[in-house]
């Protein structure tokens, strides 16, 4: 069984033209998504059980109550 980690990133790109034309008067902002796949070699489901604990103790987690930080 092959296990892999998928990471996605949404980003915006602005393609401005130095000489605008009537044909190219539309919005120059383009939205895209990049992705990368990391194969997790010699990794079991048990090895990944720590992810809940990492998220529950992460300072950027907006769902942590103030008294839990």
Looking at per-residue confidence, does 61 or 26 come out higher? Answer: 61
pLDDT of residue 49: 83
pLDDT band at 19 (very low <50, low <70, confident <90, very high): low
First to last CA, the chain: 37
The answer to whether 33 touches 9, Cβ cutoff 8 Å, is: yes
Q: Looking at residue 23, what is its pLDDT?
A: 65
Instruction: Measure the CA–CA gap between 5 and 64, rounded to whole angstroms.
Output: 25
Give the model's pLDDT for residue 46.
83
Amino acid 8: pLDDT: 95
Q: pLDDT for 27-64, tens place per residue? A: 778 899 999 999 988 888 788 888 888 888 888 898 88
Number of domains in the chain: 1
How far, in Å, CA of 26 to CA of 59, rounded? 41
Which range of residues forms the domain containing residue 45? 4-68
């Amino acid at each position: 069984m092959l296990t892999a980690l998928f990471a996605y990133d949404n980003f915006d790109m602005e393609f401005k033209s130095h000489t605008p034309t009537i044909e190219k008067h539309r919005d120059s902002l383009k939205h895209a998504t990049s992705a990368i796949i990391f194969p997790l070699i010699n990794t079991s489901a048990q090895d990944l059980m720590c992810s809940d604990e990492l998220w529950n103790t992460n300072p950027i987690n907006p769902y942590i109550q103030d008294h839990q930080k």
